[in-house]
């Protein structure tokens, strides 16, 4: 199962850009993905033809906007195997995590891992004790340590990333969920780096919550998704209060709207949600199995190339079956930002440098700041070869 990557690239106008007289090679999709023409057109179409607020107007434009917005909710629910009423639109995965941290009564500690994005660490500490599970020197989750800490503590929620944004490690989230459920804990999956890149089904994962961001999966910025089982949404209190999340308001009280709308206060990112639905349809047309297979091929080539370099330290596992298209590396004795800048200036290869919003992970590994090339469905084997060649060449001279 595959797709024609050259045909796919035709949908991304930005890939025709040149930087410093060279074709641009974009390898920062873990930070944000590029946007295909159908997604851009969806935003433009909303503003040109359907621009109105939703849910509260009976006029034609409002009805059209509301229908497009709710159609997107259905599309996204189908994509992850959920029900429409279990999909809450938020600004991003960070907001979704904060919503759960604020609204879900958690009886006990929150168990998470050293490898998490800051957004899956910081919100939990406001109200609960946070217990962190260890990882191996290559970033692989220590399941024995997870079992020990589940057994030795009162844990109310287990919250883990499906795929590490720092190292690309693919965690065995189904097994982790089974362990959490056996101890009576809620189970949350941060799918920010998995939902855009591989098939994800909430029923197969048997998770209580799943969060992800639109801008990492071909959609616009400013829109994300919280999936939560309907029974949880029914019992949770809303994170924000205001318009549209109520059915009645009086001076002495108010009545909440039904789920999922009781969690969507105020005017949402209407055009963003609509365009995210289009992004999901684009991914469905390609096939998520095909997207994963393409990235695995690219990652295999990159890992093989980096392992042959003498002056470059590759971080994370080398098995492409448990790694996404995130390739993280260091050139010892050279500051990561400086190396990334050289790649951009000399080769027009755009990667990320720093701690990648996972500083505790890299401090635990003793790695400090690093460089990260993150691959997606529009990258080619030729671009991976160019990355390997450029990093190797620079590592010999700087």
The residues assigned a catalytic role are 357
**DSSP at 169:** B
Three-state DSSP class for 324?
A: coil
For residues 312 and 331, is the Cβ–Cβ distance under 8 A?
yes
Neighbour count for residue 91 (Cβ, 10 Å): 18
Burial class (CB in 10 A: 0-12, 13-18, 19+), 298: buried
Asked if 135 and 179 touch (Cβ cutoff 8 Å), the reply is: no
Token pair, residue 168, equals 């690309």
Which among 302, 107, 298, 274 has a CA at the least distance from the CA of 197? Answer: 298
Are the C-beta atoms of residues 168 and 328 closer than 8 Å to each other? yes
Quote the CA–CA distance of 384 and 257 in Å, as a whole number: 50
Q: Which secondary structure element, helix H or strand E, spans residue 295, and what is its range? A: helix 288-307
Q: Provide the 3-class DSSP secondary structure of residue 179.
A: helix
- Cβ–Cβ < 8 Å for 108, 153: yes
CA 287/CA 280 separation, integer angstroms? 10
User: What letter does residue 135 receive in the DSSP assignment?
Assistant: B
Q: Could you please report the per-residue DSSP string of 50-111?
A: I---SSS--SHHHHHHHHHHHHHHHHHHHHHT--GGGEEEESSHHHHHHHHHHHS---SEEE
Indicate left, alpha or beta for 151 from its phi (over 0: left) and psi (-120 to 50: alpha).
alpha
Compute φ and ψ for 191, nearest 5 degrees: -100, 20
Which own/partner contact pairs does 316-320 have at CB distance under 8 Å and 24+ positions apart?
Answer: 316/138, 316/139, 316/164, 316/167, 316/168, 316/169, 317/138, 317/139, 317/140, 317/167, 317/169, 318/138, 320/296
């Amino acid at each position: 199962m595959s797709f024609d990557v050259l045909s796919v690239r035709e949908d991304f106008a930005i890939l025709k850009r040149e930087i410093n007289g060279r074709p641009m090679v974009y390898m920062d999709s873990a930070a944000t993905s590029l946007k295909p023409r159908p997604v851009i057109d969806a935003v433009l179409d909303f503003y040109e033809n359907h621009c109105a607020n939703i849910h509260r107007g009976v006029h034609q434009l409002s009805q059209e906007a509301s229908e497009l917005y709710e159609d997107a909710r259905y599309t996204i629910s189908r994509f992850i195997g959920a029900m429409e009423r279990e999909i809450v639109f938020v600004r991003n995965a960070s907001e979704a995590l904060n919503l759960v941290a604020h609204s879900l009564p958690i009886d006990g500690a929150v168990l998470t891992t050293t490898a998490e994005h800051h957004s899956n660490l910081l919100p939990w500490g406001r109200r609960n004790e946070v217990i962190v599970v260890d990882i191996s020197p290559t970033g692989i989750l220590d399941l024995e340590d997870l079992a020990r800490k589940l057994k030795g503590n009162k844990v109310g929620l287990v919250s883990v990333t499906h795929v590490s944004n720092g190292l690309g490690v693919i965690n065995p989230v189904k097994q982790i969920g089974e362990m959490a459920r056996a101890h009576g804990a809620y189970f949350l999956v941060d799918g920010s780096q998995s939902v855009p890149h591989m098939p994800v089904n909430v029923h197969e994962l048997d998770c209580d919550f799943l969060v992800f961001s639109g801008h990492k999966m071909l959609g616009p910025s400013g829109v994300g998704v919280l999936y939560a089982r309907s029974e949880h949404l029914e019992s949770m209190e809303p994170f924000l209060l205001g318009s549209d999340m109520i059915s009645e308001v009086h001076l002495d009280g108010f009545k909440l709207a039904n789920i999922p709308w009781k969690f969507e206060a105020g005017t949402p990112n209407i055009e963003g949600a609509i365009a995210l639905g289009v992004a999901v349809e684009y991914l469905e047309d390609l096939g998520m199995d095909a997207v994963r297979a393409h990235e695995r091929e690219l990652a295999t080539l990159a890992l093989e190339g980096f392992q042959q370099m003498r002056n470059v330290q590759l971080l994370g596992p080398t098995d492409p079956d448990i790694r996404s298209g995130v390739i993280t590396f260091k050139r010892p004795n050279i500051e990561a930002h400086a190396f990334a800048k050289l790649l951009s200036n000399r080769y027009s290869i755009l990667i990320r440098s720093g701690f990648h919003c996972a500083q505790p992970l890299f401090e635990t590994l003793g790695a400090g700041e690093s460089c990260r090339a993150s691959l997606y469905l529009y990258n080619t084997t030729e671009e991976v070869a160019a990355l390997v060649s450029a990093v190797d060449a620079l590592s010999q001279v700087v």
